[in-house]
Amino acid sequence: MRHGHAENWAATDFARCLTADGLTAVGAAAAILRSLALRPDLILSSSAARALQTAERVAAALGIPNDRIMAERSLYHMDDDTLLREIRHTGDEFDTLMMVGHNPAVSALASGLTDEMYGMRPAGFAVLTDGGDSWGTFGERISSARYF
C-alpha cells in the first residue's frame, strides 16, 4: 500500500503528515480491505509520519492491534528490490502481510512482480497472492493480483 496524500510542507520530508483528504482515502482503502475480508497478521511500514499514520489508521479500522505494526525507518527510501528482500524476511508464522511505503518503490514492486505496469495513487494498494509456502520465496509464484 502506498501512504495516503500528505501535506506539502513540514520541518522535514520524513515528518510530513496525512492531509484530511489523505485520511479520508486511507479510511476508504481500509473499508475495501474489510469488504474483501483481508486482515493482515502483520503490517510492515515505513516510519515516516505519513506512512505510519496510514498503517495505524488501517490497523484501527480492521481491528489489528498496534503491536502488529512494525515501523522501519529503512523502508523510507528503499527501492523495489530492497522492499522485496524485506518481505522475504517475514516470519512464516504470518499468513498475510501488508507493507505501507512510498512511491516509486511500491508501484515498481507491484509492477515487477506481476509484469503489469501499475502506478499506485496515494492510499492505493495491490493485493498479491503467492502460491508458495514461505515468505522466503514470495514473488516467485504470484497467482493473482488485484489493484485498488
Question: What average pLDDT does the segment 94-108 reach?
Answer: 96
pLDDT at site 103: 96
Tell me the per-residue pLDDT of 35-81, one tens digit each, with 9 for 90 and over. 999 999 999 999 999 999 999 999 999 999 999 999 999 999 899 99
Strands (E), 8-141: 42-46, 69-72, 97-100, 126-130
**Alpha-carbon torsion 135, 138, 144, 147, what sign?**
positive
Percent with pLDDT over 90 in the chain: 94
Label residue 26 by pLDDT band (50, 70, 90).
very high
Label residue 30 by pLDDT band (50, 70, 90).
very high
Please report, as a single letter, which amino acid is at residue 117. M
Task: Give all domains of the chain, ordered by start, each with its CATH number.
Answer: 13-147 (3.40.50.1240)
Question: What are the Cα distances from residue 18, in Å, to 83, 107, 128?
Answer: 22, 19, 25
DSSP 50-69: HHHHHHHHHHHHHT--GGGE
pLDDT at site 136: 97
| Three-state SS at 12 | coil
* Total residues belonging to the chain: 148
Tell me the per-residue pLDDT of 113-143, one tens digit each, with 9 for 90 and over. 998 898 999 999 999 999 999 999 999 999 9
The enclosing H or E element of 106 equals helix 105-114
Pairing of strands 142-147, 126-130: antiparallel
pLDDT at site 112: 95
- Asked if 42 and 68 count as a contact pair (C-beta separation under 8 A), the reply is yes
The reported pTM is: 0.95
Label residue 13 by pLDDT band (50, 70, 90).
very high
